[in-house]
């Protein structure tokens, strides 16, 4: 099965010429590595231009979009506009958007609209912190249940779930593969309760401080299909190291 690398560029790089260079480097890696599917989420301003350079095995998407298709939403973009720019996927519920006030209800609306409009949703979930009592499982369950409410079972296979513990995003070390394995099982179990056997068609990704040193063990022991990558996706050397490790 192909490994999925979702590149979340966040608010980088500072100019379209640098974005094109970074995209060209990513494209070169995608041409060399047919066993990896690259999904690049650049800042929205760069999407149309980069999507025109995409190819099989290299998709372009958006980091955020509103669920309404038009209207008075200053600073937002709609899923229709993202589609018109040839974005094929959408990050939903990233921790940095939740921190700005995005609720589970907003996330659910967005996810349903994305599915309806034929955009691939990448649903991000994850707890802020971990305590010995283990209530982070409840947090993840609540996020999943709410976000996926009303999803038709036959559309479940189109969704990617990116588990990103907030404490690992931007951190120096990633989560331990053994802990990810436990979380993958928990995510599946939660989905099975909600959707039955169709739950097994969903791909689970890991995100948070992913790099070439931790990705291989996460892939072999963490029960994940791939990664949501921040810093290692915008630094060409780090990206090369990551890809070489897979």
Contact 87, 47 (CB under 8 A): yes
Q: How far apart are CA 125 and CA 75, in angstroms?
A: 24
Four-residue CA torsion sign, 115, 166, 7, 246: negative
* Number of Cβ atoms within 10 Å of the Cβ of 150: 9
Tell me the two tokens of residue 101.
């006030």
CB under 6 A: which stretch of 30-38, 143-151, 190-198, 207-215 binds ligand PGA?
207-215
Least distance (Å) between residue 133 CB and ligand PGA: 25
Which residues are bridge partners to 60 per DSSP? 40
Q: How far apart are CA 130 and CA 81, in angstroms?
A: 38
152-181 positions binding ligand PGA, by CB under 6 A: 164, 169-170
CB under 6 A: which stretch of 41-49, 74-82, 113-121, 205-213 binds ligand PGA?
205-213
Q: How far apart are CA 204 and CA 82, in angstroms?
A: 24
Assess whether 73 carries a catalytic annotation.
Answer: no
Q: Which of 123, 228, 239, 242 binds ligand PGA (CB under 6 A)?
A: 228
Can residue 238 be called a binding residue for ligand PGA (CB under 6 A)? Answer: no
Can residue 222 be called a binding residue for ligand PGA (CB under 6 A)? Answer: no
Which residues are bridge partners to 120 per DSSP? 89
Peptide bond into 13 cis (omega under 30): yes
Which residues are bridge partners to 12 per DSSP? none
The catalytic residue among 64, 66, 94, 127 is 94
CB under 6 A: which stretch of 66-74, 190-198, 206-214, 218-226 binds ligand PGA?
206-214
Assess whether 164 carries a catalytic annotation.
Answer: yes
Nearer to ligand PGA, 79 or 209 (CB): 209
Q: Which of 85, 209, 218, 242 binds ligand PGA (CB under 6 A)?
A: 209
Can residue 243 be called a binding residue for ligand PGA (CB under 6 A)? Answer: no
Can residue 208 be called a binding residue for ligand PGA (CB under 6 A)? Answer: yes
Can residue 210 be called a binding residue for ligand PGA (CB under 6 A)? Answer: yes
Q: How far apart are CA 68 and CA 70, in angstroms?
A: 6
Tell me the two tokens of residue 171.
């951190």
Per the listing, tokens 């409410």 go with 149
Q: Which of 4, 5, 8, 60 binds ligand PGA (CB under 6 A)?
A: 8
Judged by the rule CB under 6 A, the positions of this chain that interact with ligand PGA are: 8, 164, 169-170, 207-210, 228-232
């Amino acid at each position: 099965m192909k490994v999925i690398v979702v590149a979340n560029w966040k608010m980088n790089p500072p100019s379209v010429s640098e974005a094109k260079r970074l995209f060209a480097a990513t494209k070169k890696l995608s041409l060399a590595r047919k066993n990896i599917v690259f999904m690049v989420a650049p800042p929205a301003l760069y999407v149309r231009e980069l999507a025109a350079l995409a190819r099989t095995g290299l998709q372009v998407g958006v980091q955020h979009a509103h669920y309404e298709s038009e209207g008075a939403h200053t600073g937002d973009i709609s899923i229709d506009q993202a589609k018109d720019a040839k974005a094929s996927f959408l990050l939903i519920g990233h921790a940095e958007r939740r921190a700005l006030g995005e609720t589970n209800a907003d996330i659910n609306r967005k996810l349903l609209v994305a599915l309806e409009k034929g955009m691939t949703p990448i649903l991000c979930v994850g707890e802020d912190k971990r305590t010995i009592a283990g209530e982070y499982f409840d947090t993840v369950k609540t996020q999943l249940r709410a976000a996926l409410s009303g999803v038709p079972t036959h559309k479940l296979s189109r969704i990617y779930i990116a588990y990103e513990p907030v404490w690992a995003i931007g951190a120096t070390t990633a989560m331990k593969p053994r802990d990810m394995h436990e979380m993958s099982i928990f995510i599946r179990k939660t989905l099975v309760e909600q959707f039955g056997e169709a739950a097994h068609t969903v791909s689970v990704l890991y995100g948070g401080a992913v790099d070439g040193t931790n990705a291989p063990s996460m892939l072999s022991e963490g029960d994940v299909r791939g990664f949501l990558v921040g810093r290692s996706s915008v630094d060409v050397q780090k990206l090369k190291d990551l890809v070489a490790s897979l």
